[in-house]
Amino acid sequence: MKLKFNNRETKVQQLADYIEGEIYRQSLKIGDKLPSINELSTEHGVSRDTVFKSLMKLKERGLIDSIHGKNYFVSNQSSNILLLLDRYSPFKEELYNSLVNRLPDNYKTDLWFHQYNKHLFDTILDESIGRYSKYIVMNYNNEILSPKLSEIPRDKLLLIDFGNFDKKEYSYICQNFDEQLYSALESIKDDLTKYNKLIFILNINHPHPQSSRDFFVKFCRDNSLNYETLNEVPYSIEKGCCYIIIKQIDVVETIKNAKHDKMEMGIDFGVIAYNENPFYEIIGEGVSSIGINWKDMGMLAAEFITTGKKTQTYLNTIINKRKSF
């Protein structure tokens, strides 16, 4: 089938990806001889130089080899990985680095973000299915498994992060936003009981699972703690309260509003942020955080890629305790 070129990438890259897809689909198998440079040039309507550069890319990836610089043949199976995440954040970068640093040199990881946009999510997968040996995907919804994912062979798909839906047939590495949140708060209950009130800030339109709010409320009620839930950061920060904050921008806004009232974090009020951020170590005397270890998620994802073994894991939610509460 003749390759249809687009304007998003160079013809060199597209031809290399196309041949790699043929190797992945096993239209070209290990030991098979590739068409000659002249044949590929004629078939796809590109220059010999474009074909040669494409073959060099595949050779660098360890997928093909040659005898005396010609007669190229398939030497290995495709090791291209699709990593489809929701949106950029420092802890997603930590996940990415942990993943790629544990993969062999001949593995190539393509990183995309779907921004919780269903159309973009479906488009990325439509253009990716059949081109990769493994797919590492953050679903765009915590409650519903995207039908598009059923088009990927289950042994090649790993779901990460979200997943409050039936996924027993799939491999996954997820966090639990409900019971694990409750347990993490329980582990610091003695500290939290010193506050007049616990305040949970999560906008109702934010993609973070709203069920977290319910388990925060349950924790407070079970322990007879005064509490409040808010959609937005209040302009006036209450003295003697501890704020549990989901969005990182809301953490910044809370500290800024407190400074306006000359209140000091960790003394006049408490803060616990959801998900770690390198800056939390140096803001004030340190901002405490609650969440999973994203390096562990990357490490386990790399293990799935290299071994192919099915995995079904929930990561523990932990507290990184600093002086903010």
For residue 256, what are the contacts with CB-CB under 8 A and spacing of at least 6? Answer: none
Average of per-residue pLDDT across 199-221: 96
276 occurs within a structural domain: yes
Q: Two tokens at 42?
A: 């004629």
pLDDT of the residue at 241: 98
Are 127 and 272 in a shared domain? no
Tens of pLDDT, residues 56-87: 998 887 788 887 767 898 887 667 899 999 99
pTM of the model: 0.77
Q: Give the residue numbers spanning the domain of 50.
A: 11-74
Residue 6, domain member (yes or no): no
Q: Are residues 127 and 139 in the same domain?
A: yes
Rounded mean pLDDT of 125-147? 89
Residue 5 placed within a domain: no
CATH number of the domain where residue 103 is located: 3.40.50.2300
In this structure, of 86-95, 127-136, 189-198, 214-223, the range with the lowest mean pLDDT score is 127-136
185 and 281 fall within a common domain: yes
pLDDT value at residue 262: 93
CATH code assigned at 18:
1.10.10.10
Domain boundary among 74, 102, 120: 74
Residues 264 and 188 reside in one and the same domain? yes
Tell whether 189 and 280 lie within a shared domain.
Answer: yes
109 lies in some domain = yes
Same domain, 103 and 142: yes
Q: Are residues 220 and 286 in the same domain?
A: yes
pLDDT attached to residue 124: 95
Strand partners, 14: none
For residue 281, which amino acid is it?
E
pLDDT of residue 131: 73
Q: How confident is the model at residue 287 (pLDDT cuts 50, 70, 90)?
A: very high
pLDDT (tens digit per residue) in 161-197:
988 899 999 999 999 999 999 999 999 999 999 999 9
Across 96-102, average pLDDT: 96
Q: Output the pLDDT for position 118.
A: 94
Domain identity same for 119 and 253? no
Is 187 found in the same domain as 38? Answer: no
Q: Does the pLDDT at position 129 exceed 90?
A: no
User: How many domains does one find in the chain?
Assistant: 3
How does DSSP assign 155-202, residue by residue? GGEEEEE---S--TTSEEEEE-SSHHHHHHHHHTHHHHTTSSEEEEE-
pLDDT of residue 75: 82
| Amino acid identity at 25 | R
Q: How confident is the model at residue 224 (pLDDT cuts 50, 70, 90)?
A: very high
- 244 belongs to a structural domain: yes
Last residue of a domain, one of 29, 47, 74: 74
* Residue 214 covered by a domain: yes
Do 171 and 311 share a domain, yes or no? yes
Claim to verify: residue 125 and residue 195 sit in the same structural domain: no
Percent of the chain with pLDDT over 90: 74
What integer is the mean pLDDT of 216-244? 97
* Confidence at residue 17, expressed as pLDDT on a 0 to 100 scale: 86
Mean pLDDT of 34-57: 93
Q: Does position 23 have pLDDT exceeding 90, yes or no?
A: no
Query: To the nearest whole number, what is the mean pLDDT of the chain?
Result: 92
Mean pLDDT of 82-93: 94
- According to the 3-state scheme, what is the secondary structure of 77-127? CCCEEEEEECCCCHHHHHHHHHHHCCCCCCCEEEEEECCCCHHHHHHHHHH
| Per-residue pLDDT, 176 | 93
Residue after which a domain boundary falls, among 52, 74, 96: 74
Helices H / strands E in the chain, number of each: 10, 14
Residue 2 lies in a domain: no
SS3 state of residue 152: coil
Classify residue 112: in a domain, yes or no: yes
Name the residue with higher pLDDT: 36 or 21.
Answer: 36
Residues 65 and 130 in one domain: no
